[in-house]
Amino acid sequence: MAELRWNPLLKTYTMVADNRQNRPHLPEDWCPFCPGPGKKVPPNYDVYAYDNDFPALKPEPDEPNIQGTDLYKVEKNYGKCEVILYSPDHNITLPQLPVEHIFKLVNLWIERFEELSKDKRIKYIFPFENRGKEVGVTMFHPHGQLYAYSWIPLKLKVELDNCKEYYEEKEKCLICEMNKEEKEFQKRILFENDSFLVYLPFFTDYPYGAFIVSKSHKGNLSEFDEKEKWDLAEALKLLTGGFDLLFDKPFPYMMNIHQTPVNSEEYADSHKYYHFHIEFYPPLRDKDKIKWYASSEMGAWAAANTMAVEETAITLRNAIEKFKKIQ
């Protein structure tokens, strides 16, 4: 069974994909993403986009297994799901990669964004990474994913609508204003380089829920010049390296790249008011304590952060400085 089911309460789709039930828990001595005989990956690669073996969305979609109604609409599961391999080295992590290698990853994201956006049925391209068993990862080869949706998912739509409303009222970009306020306050800033500001925003759901935000008003990955791409690679390395030194253990997180939609009449002018940023959702609040995203957060979208980010910023900033010294 595979289709998109319309949720009339939230006006968004739920992806139904029972093939994902068959995803294996792989043995430690075998990995499909490591080069070798009989593998789908090339014998040599630096970074690589790999079609997901268990996709929720497909360019040749399945026929829905259930009939829709006026209330409960059903659509084909059109789209694309890709695995983005960071390295052929099974045991390396993102912060252990040199900046020049992460720069190649940024270029791969851009290449996939530009290629997938040519399909007029695709409306949103969403690179992300799940890291750690605490967020459900069963494949520990260094990798992220990319979903190309045929609609704009709800959380992204809410962000777009609020940024548009702010722009229409203030004639300013909301995220540019966030950058300005965080820069003036300083205490939540983790670090910055020429092109990106990295901070724990005032409102983040998680004790260490960092944002990487472009300093210039850019809407998506394809708008970055070579310097900005390099600075993004550096920012990713420093932040994730600092995460790992927080509690001296591999730090779990969900990393989500938020950018302008593609092929959307509704948001055709989103470059005016929406602003590229990366949101991190790390579930740890201490070395062995999880900040659970439970009923209030999930059921009401009413987040409750367990720690003040003005305090956690100090701890994470110190970890990042420590990481810089050992590079």
Q: Which residues does 122 contact at the CB level (< 8 Å), separation at least 6?
A: 79, 80, 116, 148, 149, 150, 262, 263
Q: Tokens for 263, please give them.
A: 């092929």
Q: Tokens for 278, please give them.
A: 């990366």
Closest by CA position to 161, among listed 1, 273, 283, 40: 273
- 99-108: buried (b, 16+ CB within 10 Å) or exposed (e) per residue? bebbbbbbbb
Q: Could you give the residue numbers annotated as active site? A: 143
The DSSP call for residue 61 is: P
Find tokens 């789908």 and name the residue. Answer: 40
Position 150, amino acid:
S
| DSSP code per residue over 159-198 | HHHHHHHHHHHHSS-HHHHHHHHHHHH-TTEEEE-SSEEE
Closest by CA position to 22, among listed 38, 36, 2: 2
At residue 78, what are phi and psi to the nearest 5 degrees?
-75, 140
In total, the chain counts a number of residues equal to 327
Contact 309, 207 (CB under 8 A): yes
